[in-house]
Amino acid sequence: MDYQNRAGSNTLEARVAAGLRSATTGAREHAKAVL
């Protein structure tokens, strides 16, 4: 039970981190295109 919760939380954290990374990259690319 505890292990599953930890694994799920790690997966969620990884998903959030990947989303933030892609969002930052997208914003940078957009800024480059605008400028």
pLDDT class for 7, splitting at 50, 70, 90? low
> Comparing C-alpha atoms, which of 2, 23, 26 is closest to residue 10?
2
pTM (whole model) above 0.75: no
Q: What end-to-end distance do the CA atoms of the chain give, in Å?
A: 51
Is it the case that residue 5 has pLDDT exceeding 70?
Answer: no
Number of separate domains in the chain: 1
Task: Write the burial class of residue 24 (CB in 10 Å: 0-12 exposed, 13-18 middle, 19+ buried).
Answer: exposed
Domain that holds residue 18: 1-35
